[in-house]
């Protein structure tokens, strides 16, 4: 096999799988010669300028006294970190952020999977429904937040509908409870993104070989058994992607929460990013940078084990 035929095959479809690991590696070595390394320069330049450079600055400024009050920036060592840790507010916001991320990951995936199973068959109605459920994904998160804020306020649409159904006035402050409002906004966040999870689960379901399902049917497996023992395990790659993106993406949550509650009531929904935003607005730029560095580290620390565990599930495939 020559490089030429290999690269031809690459452009046509997926890389050869049957060759086995040693052969693939051998081909990979030969492959390196066929694309000049300089092709990578533009991509790395963009990555470096817009990702690595700001990240490095994030580390640097966290160790300084940068603020809006003073023209000079001094090196202060780890003082910003010790101040943050001693105040306790950081851990409070971190706890809220992690709770938020976990709840979003659960809700978004449960909703997404249910929708995918419900809309699996390619009928006309299902195609239309899939589009409808995908629309929130492409909507502006702030717009979603403001719409839900209007629906959920004590005199909003939800309470009016409940009131009409129950026959008496309902004035539940959905966004005014210091315990449950966090759950309400995770549901909003999950609602916005469930269409994306649905799409990925649908793609995952489509890759399951019909022969396997038919064999299960012939063996007399019920729909539930088929799902539990065959379809769900085979969805592992889709689950990895969906859980990881939902969990780690919502760790960086800001827009939906800012628009619905702004961190209230009583800062019970103040995600770390909202706290950072508020600190930055006070002119304490270095402290805000320190916090975003902490968030970066927490996301990184969380990402590795989560992705590792989820990838482990895929090994059975």
Partner 1 sequence: MKRYLTAAAAIVAVGLLTTACSDPSITGPGSSQSSGTATVQWPDATASLSGVTLTIWAAQNSNTTPKAVVAAFEKATGAKVNIVTIPDPYEQGVQTKVATGDKPDLAFWQPTGSMLTALNAPTNLQPLTGAPWITNLNPALQDMTGILKGTRYAALITSPAVEGVYYNKDVFAANGITTLPKDWNSFIADARALKAAGQTPLFEMGGDRWATQWWVQVQLADAAKSGLWDKVNTGKEKFTDPTILDAIKTYKSLIDEGLFNKDIATANFADQGAALLSGQAAMVVQVNSFFSELQAKTDTATLNKKIGFFPISPSGNTGTFIPDQSNALVAFKTGDAKREAAARQLLSLWMGKGYPAFIKDLNTVSLETSVPSPATVPQALLDVNASLANSVGSMQALAVANPDLYIYLADMIQGTTTPEQVAQQTQDQFAQLAKAQGVAGF
* Interface residue list for partner 1 (CB under 8 A): 53, 56-57, 59-61, 64-73, 83, 87, 153-154, 171, 173, 175-176, 178, 264-268, 277-278, 280-285, 287
Report the C-alpha gap between 22 and 19 in whole angstroms: 8
Shortest Å, Cβ 187 to partner 1? 19
The helix (H) or strand (E) run that includes residue 60 is helix 53-61
HSE (CB half, 13 Å, CA atoms) of 114?
A: 10
Query: Minimum distance from CB of 72 to partner 1 (Å)?
Result: 7
Closest contact distance (angstroms) between CB of 276 and partner 1 is 11
Q: For partner 1, give the closer residue by CB, 237 or 265.
A: 265
What's the sign of the alpha-carbon dihedral 139, 142, 147, 152? positive
Helix (H) or strand (E) holding 100: helix 89-118
What DSSP designation does 16 have? P
Q: How far is the CB of 128 from partner 1 (least distance, A)?
A: 36
CB of 185 to partner 1, least distance (A): 15
Of 84 and 144, which CB lies nearer to partner 1 in the complex structure?
84
In the complex with partner 1, the residue whose CB is nearer, 31 or 89, is 89
Do the Cβ atoms of 277 and 291 come closer than 8 Å?
Answer: no
C-beta of 66 vs 201, nearer to partner 1:
66
Q: Taking the CA atoms of 272, 274, 277 and 278 in sequence, report the sign of the dihedral they define.
A: negative
Residue 114 Cβ, how far from partner 1 at the closest point, in Å? 32
Cis status of the peptide bond prior to 265, with omega within 30 of 0: yes
DSSP class of residue 231 equals I
Residue 71 CB, shortest distance to partner 1, in Å, is 5
Number of other residues whose CB lies within 10 A of the CB of residue 286: 20
Measured from the CB atom, the residue of 207 and 282 that comes closer to partner 1 is 282
Which is nearer to partner 1, 68 or 207 (by Cβ)?
68
**Coil, strand, or helix at residue 156?**
coil
Of 7 and 79, CB closest to partner 1: 79
Q: For the chain, give me the number of helices (H) and strands (E)?
A: 17, 0
Instruction: Give me 120's structure tokens.
Output: 């699996």
Pick 13 or 88: Cβ nearer partner 1: 88
Cβ of residue 157: shortest distance to partner 1, in angstroms? 16
Distance CA 227, CA 316 (A): 16
- The answer to whether 192 touches 144, Cβ cutoff 8 Å, is yes
Other Cβ atoms closer than 10 A to 167: 6
């Amino acid at each position: 096999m020559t490089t030429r035929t290999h690269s031809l095959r690459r452009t046509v479809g997926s890389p050869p799988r049957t060759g086995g690991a040693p052969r693939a590696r051998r081909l990979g070595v030969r492959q390196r010669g066929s694309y000049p390394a300089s092709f990578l320069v533009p991509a790395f330049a963009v990555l470096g300028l817009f990702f690595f450079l700001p990240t490095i600055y994030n580390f640097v400024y966290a160790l300084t006294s940068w603020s809006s009050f003073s023209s000079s920036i001094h090196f202060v060592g780890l003082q910003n970190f010790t101040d943050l840790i001693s105040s306790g507010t950081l851990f409070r916001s971190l706890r809220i952020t992690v709770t938020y991320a976990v709840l979003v990951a659960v809700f978004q995936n449960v909703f997404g999977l249910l929708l995918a199973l419900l809309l699996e068959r390619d009928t006309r109605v299902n195609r239309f429904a899939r589009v409808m459920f995908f629309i929130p994904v492409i909507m502006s998160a702030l717009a979603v937040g403001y719409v839900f804020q209007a629906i959920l306020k004590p005199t909003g649409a939800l309470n009016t509908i409940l009131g009409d159904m129950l026959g008496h006035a309902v004035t539940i402050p959905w966004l005014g409870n210091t315990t449950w409002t966090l759950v309400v906004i995770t549901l909003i966040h999950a609602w916005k993104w469930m269409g994306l999870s649905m799409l990925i689960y649908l793609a995952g379901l489509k890759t399951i070989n019909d022969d396997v399902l038919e064999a299960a049917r012939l063996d007399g497996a019920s729909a539930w058994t088929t799902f539990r023992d065959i379809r769900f395990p085979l969805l592992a790659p889709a689950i990895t992607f969906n859980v990881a993106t939902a969990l780690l993406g919502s760790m960086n949550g800001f827009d939906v929460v800012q628009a619905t509650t702004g961190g209230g009531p009583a800062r019970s929904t103040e995600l770390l990013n909202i706290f950072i935003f508020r600190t930055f607005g006070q002119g304490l730029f270095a402290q805000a940078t320190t916090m975003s560095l902490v968030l970066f580290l927490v996301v990184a620390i969380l990402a590795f084990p989560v992705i590792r565990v989820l990838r482990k599930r895929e090994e059975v495939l």
